[in-house]
Structure 1
Amino acid sequence: MSHTSTPALGSDLATQLRTATPEDTGRLVPFINRAFARDNYFKRTERTNAEQVAEYLQKGTFLLKEDGDGLLGLIYIELRDNGHGYIGMVAVDPGWQSMGTGRELMKAGEQLCRDHDCRLIEISVIDLRPELLAWYQRQGYKIVGEAPYIRPEVLILPCHFILMEKELRSTNQER
């Protein structure tokens, strides 16, 4: 079930974070595509499909934020052999955007990386979303480079990735 309305301000809904399983794929694909619908101005296809989500589940982890009515948001985390973590595909139900859900998911993803002794987190942000770059910078991420978009054949507008990183500190060093 998807959320169709914005929660009331001050509402105190019980939510939980959990790890996705392959059985969640059928829910994740439409959720991700709906959450990223705003970005469809630069591509000719949907953000993801079942095959891609299955590949992500084999390489990494999706953390899901849910309430009694369904999925509110998700984040993809990949633990890499070099002591780095990768965070991507942060998706929030449109009715729950700008309410702290993305920040909560990022904190949970960072903690998962920290729990697995990652020293650094890497993210890639489309250059067409300067407001996202600013948001990630406020979360402590720094721009470290650029990379070409991985599927240029689906682009309507030219774009590239802005590569960002954040050094992790142990939990007792966090603010």
Structure 2
Amino acid sequence: MITIATEKDSSSLNKLINSAYRGESSKKGWTTEAYLLEGLRTTEQELKGIISSEKNTILKFIESNALIGCVLLIEKQEQLYLGMLTVSPDLQNSGIGKKLLQHAEVFSTERGLSKIVMTVISVRSELISWYKRNGYRDTGLRESFPADGIHISISEQPLEFIVMEKLL
């Protein structure tokens, strides 16, 4: 079941997101960034702040009373920004991510937003290919990777974001 997350979900969302992106547990799945980045992907406090903003929505995927996936959606002018698409590392490749993408598209359309945009780390070729298979395209735009002391690169390659989009 996919529903909208509330502030009381912040702790479980934090555990899920960090388990899928960073650390040893993330290495069970194919979406890990553990070989590129150290530190946390997010914090419970950051998630509470995200959820409290009326322009932000986190959709959560619950199965058998367990949180197994989520996606952040941010309404920005005429488009929807999609981020933090997360599936539990043990359940990746089971169609959950695709279902969350489909719900994001319905969410966007219901709000009259005809485009979804996202950023993906440029060296994540397998993830970029997955988004392309799901109808997203590389816009050619690039954004700098943050050097903020939170996102700690351990990559020998320089990191940047590619901007992808899907017209609905």
TM-score scaled by length of structure 1: 0.82
Which structure features the higher share of strand residues? 2
Deviates further, 50-59 or 127-136: 50-59
Classify the secondary structure of the residue corresponding to 1:95: helix
1:78 is aligned, of 74, 77, 80, to 74
1:41 alignment partner AA: Y
> Does 2:160 align with 1:160?
yes
**Structure 1 spans left out of the alignment, 5+ residues:** 1-15, 169-175
1:148 corresponds in structure 2 to 144
1:104 Cα deviation after fit:
0.3
1:62 is aligned, of 58, 76, 79, to 58
Aligned-partner Cα distance in 2 for 1:141–1:83:
17
Alignment of 1:1-175 (within 5 A): 16-37=1-22, 38-59=32-53, 60-80=56-76, 82-144=77-139, 145-151=141-147, 153=149, 154-157=152-155, 158-168=158-168
Aligned residues: 152
**Structure 2 spans left out of the alignment, 5+ residues:** 23-31
**RMSD of aligned Cα (Å):** 1.2
Q: For residues 110-158 of structure 1, what are the alpha-carbon distances to aligned partners after superposition, in whole Å with 9 as ceiling and x for unaligned? A: 1101100001111111112101101111111111111111245411222
Aligned-partner Cα distance in 2 for 1:36–1:21:
21
Aligned-partner Cα distance in 2 for 1:17–1:87:
16
Which is higher, the Rg of structure 1 or of structure 2?
A: 1
Distance change (3 Å), C-alpha of 1:155 and 1:105: same
TM-score scaled by length of structure 2: 0.86
